[in-house]
Amino acid sequence: MTETLDRIPAHLRQYVAFQDYGAYDEIDQAVWRFILLQTHARLALTAHPAYLRGVPDCGISIERIPRIEAIDEHLARFGWGAVGVDGFIPPRAFQEFQALRILTIAGAIRTHEHLAYTPAPDIVHEAAGHAPILPDPEYRAFLQKFGEVGQRAFSSPHDRAVHDCIFQLSVVKEDPLATPAQRDAAQRALEQLLAAAPPPSEAALLSRLHWWTVEYGLVGTPSDYRIYGAGLLSSLGEEEALHSPSVRKLPLDAACIDVDYDITRPQPQLFVARDFAQLSDVLEGVASRFSQRRGDLRALETARASGEIATLELDSGARATGRVTAHEELAGGPALAVLEGRKALDFEGEHLLGEPTASADDLVVALGPLEGGASSARLTEDALARFVARDQRSRYDLRFASGLRIEGEVRRVLCRAGRVLALSLAGAEAGASDRKLALGSVTLAFADAIRSVSAGAADPSFWPPSSFPAARTPAPRVRAAAEARVVALYQDALRLWEHPESPDLVPGFTRIAQKLRLHAPGDWLLRWNLLESLRKLDAGVVLATMLRDDLLEVEAATPGDAATKAPIERGLRYLGFEPRRGRRAAARP
């Protein structure tokens, strides 16, 4: 774990949360075990072979919630690592971790009320879903490349609003104290926001690719496929439902980003990659459309509209970082870009302006050759001297072939490798023909062209440092008195199970079942565990029948839709019991 923590840049450390393993109680452990027993059994037939090999290779046990430190140690053999986080982290931070070959794992675990699916990140999804495929070399290379593309893709204000809305929905759904009205309100807020969506941003398009590959991907052919997407590998309901003929299976290509998804409903179609190598090809096809591969006017407009920090890679070798607030077009191309907020200008690892700063001076990038054809990317001090204004030795009148003209009093000339990379100007003005723009005090950087425009800062030192917080995950659960009694019954059952050959086991399980009838008539998960233990031992036929009948009665009395009842039905099928349709279980004595 220490080696992985040492690889985390200072600005990302704030998102790390250390796993408090003692915060998981026996209900949490039972949730993990219930899901893993059944998904692993089914996935032996339907998952990509890398999954079954990867579960033990990643330090994951079917019986107990894994320790994140153990997953980190196992992934280190493949050049990756793992750290805990506390639920949602910003999408760009998630992509940065992925680019660093670090799997982020939310330490919380879903409640048994949302056992089949939860929109909140949890350890079932992120450990049992994402980790097992990482030992495959082609897949993990794709995932790292995805992170590299993702951290440079521009989002939009709408993306950030949707992220906040999904976060709020997940919090409310997992909060046992939340009312149905609060859950409905959070759901409606998300639906309204999605209904009013503008054209998708680069980050939104990339999130679609992530959904149709990393989360819900299939590999093979539309008629003969295997599962590798983490959302399918970790979901009891969707892993089974996807095989229905009503779910269309389409060949994967870059056009999948034109298909949106709804996280609140089963997907009507899924995409099938030929193999893991094709994933990288499709990613490259999508990334080739993004601003990070261009430096044209559209890329600058994308950066401006996003409102995010952007990095302009210049053909001079310098990089300008800040928020693009304005740009000018002349002669059919970009001639000027203005960056505000926290800013930096770096060249070969050196910050030319000192440490990144939010000073009042803007950072202006002037583009294109100078008047007369001289390259501004290779400007020397001698060549610069001919632009000194007449009779004003410190005032420069810079003219560009595009028609752009910049005037200002030079305070400092920034030179490296024999070239002028930037000027510090006071009282600067820019314009062309009859138009003028007052710039004031600025740093003026030169380049013939922009090579690329990327979201975020290329240099991690641009961001203020942060330290590892004292946050622990998961947060301790506050169990109601009835649930606390059930936890104690789980502990009693485990103590009995430590001696399966003991004649006290079946009588002890019987006493626990009777206490469940008295104190927790609606609890089904412990009953299922008792029944699963008896089936393993082929013992306690009378008690097993009683437990089965109790489970059927709980299922019949459970309010909600089929998805709410599904875990009980699936659990009984897993144990070889066929659900009894159209009849209630026998009345209790």
Per-residue pLDDT of the chain (589 residues; tens, 9 = 90+): 789 999 999 999 999 999 999 999 999 999 999 999 998 888 999 999 999 999 999 999 999 999 999 999 999 999 999 999 988 888 899 999 999 999 999 999 988 777 766 667 899 999 999 999 999 999 999 999 999 999 999 998 888 887 778 777 777 776 777 888 888 888 888 888 777 778 899 999 999 999 999 999 999 999 999 999 999 998 877 777 889 999 999 999 999 999 998 776 788 999 999 999 999 999 999 999 999 999 999 999 999 999 999 999 999 999 999 999 999 888 888 999 999 999 999 999 899 988 887 777 899 999 999 988 889 999 898 888 888 865 566 788 899 999 999 999 999 999 998 899 999 999 999 988 767 778 889 999 999 999 999 999 988 889 988 889 888 999 888 888 888 899 999 999 999 999 999 999 999 999 999 999 999 998 999 999 999 999 999 999 999 999 999 999 998 887 655 555 678 888 999 999 876 554 443 333 3
Are both 320 and 362 inside the same structural domain? yes
* Count of domains observed in the chain: 4
3-state class (DSSP) for residue 478: coil
Are both 268 and 335 inside the same structural domain? no
CA dist., res. 13 & res. 102, Å (int): 12
- Cβ(261)–Cβ(267) below 8 Å: yes
Burial 438-450 (b: 16+ CB within 10 A, else e): ebebbbbbbbbbb
Provide the pLDDT for residue 240. Answer: 77
Are both 138 and 167 inside the same structural domain? no
Is position 298 within any domain?
no
- Cβ(376)–Cβ(400) below 8 Å: yes
- 122, 30, 108, 114: which is closest to 476 by C-alpha? 108
Are both 336 and 266 inside the same structural domain? no
- Cβ(28)–Cβ(109) below 8 Å: yes
- 358, 294, 317, 298: which is closest to 445 by C-alpha? 317
Provide the pLDDT for residue 116. Answer: 65
CA dist., res. 146 & res. 217, Å (int): 14
| Sign of the alpha-carbon torsion through 151, 152, 156, 157 | positive
Domain that holds residue 164: 157-197
Is position 583 within any domain?
no
**Burial category of 555 from C-beta neighbours within 10 Å (exposed 0-12, middle 13-18, buried 19 and up):** buried
Q: Pick from 409, 443, 472: which residue ends a domain? A: 472
Provide the pLDDT for residue 584. Answer: 42
- Cβ(588)–Cβ(553) below 8 Å: yes
Are both 411 and 552 inside the same structural domain? no
Is position 246 within any domain?
yes
Provide the pLDDT for residue 583. Answer: 42
Structure-token match 């191309």, residue found: 333
Give 584-589 contacts, CB < 8 A, sequence gap 24+.
Answer: 584/552, 584/553, 584/556, 585/548, 585/549, 585/550, 585/551, 585/552, 585/553, 585/556, 586/549, 588/517, 588/550, 588/553
Provide the pLDDT for residue 393. Answer: 64
